[in-house]
Amino acid sequence: MASTVIVDLPDTTVSKISKALVKIREEGGAVALGRVLTLVIATDPEHLEDAVAAANDASREHPMRVVVVAVDQGAEHIVEARINAQIRVGGDAGASEVIVLRAFGAAASDSESLVTGLLLPDAPVVVWWAGVWPGHAAQTSLGRIATRRITDATTHPDPQQALVDLGHNYTPGDTDLAWSRITLWRGQLATVLDQPPYESVDSIRVRGSVESPSTTLLAAWLHQQLLAPVEHVLHEDKAGGWGVDSVELTRISGTIVLSRTHDAVAQLSAPGQPIHDLSLPRRSLRDCLAEELRHLDPDELYGRVVTSGVKDLTAAQ
């Protein structure tokens, strides 16, 4: 594997960064690829490297330019406006070119002006808030220039309240990683219900951590799809895990139970059937990000679940 080319540009400008990118290509340090989008990552120094690693992994499926805006807490109050940049291409950067911007002073208060000159022309812009919470994403300076906006409710001090806020503020193009974390759960449950006997579901019970907004989204999705009452049980026991624990679907013939027994395994039991162990791994940050980048049009199902689904679920409790 080719080594990663890293170019540091202290106290620089967007114009100098663009010229450095051109120079790197001309010198053969980067392979010219058809970039399909620009991914803008808004983060802080603590979450920067994890976010870049996830983006690099996802770029092998979605070649892209990654622009990272990392702002230290209090950086806006520094008197001197300054941008320190780093360009990473090749090697560990995957199929992306990564531009890391560390902004200070007045430069830290206007993220849109920092990234505008670095966006790929005529390509969609996706903004991901990694490890930080944007509030009303679509109304932020970065959110206004984005085709898709990716948040993560687990970064909110109260993840359950975050879902309520996401529903109130939903704008087509919004999505949250809590939704992509339950893709495998939704797939397994849909498969089970697509097999005989084809009975309606009389009641639903979903159990998981209070720190898991994914548990709430799964309960809201099931409530909408099956039109059955839901018992939504959230626990605070850290030993019980941080995600979805189990789903029980009760029908006239008995109860279907899908429960996690291990980080990568779940157990399925159904009336008249032997108990099965199923592959149900906890999804990595890279997997969730890559899924969200596969479709750049608004996720209408997520929109319905996070708005009316969560609201109806809360009202029914």
Same domain, 184 and 315: yes
- Both 25 and 112 in a single domain? yes
Q: Are residues 208 and 145 in the same domain?
A: no
Q: Are residues 102 and 12 in the same domain?
A: yes
Q: Which two tokens stand for residue 224?
A: 């909408």
The answer to whether residue 237 sits within a structural domain is yes
Asked whether residue 169 is assigned to any structural domain, the reply reads no
Does one domain contain both 191 and 316? yes
**The domain boundary residue, chosen from 151, 186, 209:** 151
Same domain, 12 and 146: yes
**The amino acid at 187:** G
Say if 159 falls within a structural domain: no
Domain identity same for 121 and 235: no
Q: What three-state secondary structure class fits 80?
A: coil
pTM across the whole model: 0.93
Q: Which regions of the chain does DSSP assign to beta strands (E)?
A: 5-9, 37-43, 64-70, 82-89, 96-104, 125-129, 148-151, 174-176, 203-209, 230-235, 244-251, 254-260, 265-269, 276-279
Q: What is the pLDDT along the chain (317 residues), one digit of tens a residue?
A: 567 889 999 999 999 999 999 888 777 645 545 788 999 999 999 999 999 999 999 999 989 999 999 987 665 566 678 899 999 988 777 778 999 999 888 777 888 999 999 999 999 999 999 999 999 999 999 999 999 999 999 999 999 999 999 999 999 999 999 999 999 999 999 999 999 999 999 999 999 999 999 999 999 999 999 999 999 999 886 554 579 999 999 999 999 999 999 889 999 999 999 999 999 999 999 999 999 999 899 999 999 999 999 999 977 66
Q: How many domains does the chain have?
A: 2
The type of residue at 45 is P
Q: In this structure, are 190 and 116 located in the same domain?
A: no
Q: Is residue 205 part of a domain?
A: yes
Is 121 found in the same domain as 208? no
Strand 276-279 to 265-269 pairing: antiparallel
Q: Per the domain annotation, does 163 fall within a domain?
A: no
In this structure, the answer to whether residues 215 and 90 fall within a common structural domain is no
Instruction: Say if residue 85 is in the same domain as residue 184.
Output: no
**Residue 102 resides in a domain:** yes
Residue 231: which CATH number? Answer: 3.30.360
What is the extent of the structural domain holding 252?
178-317
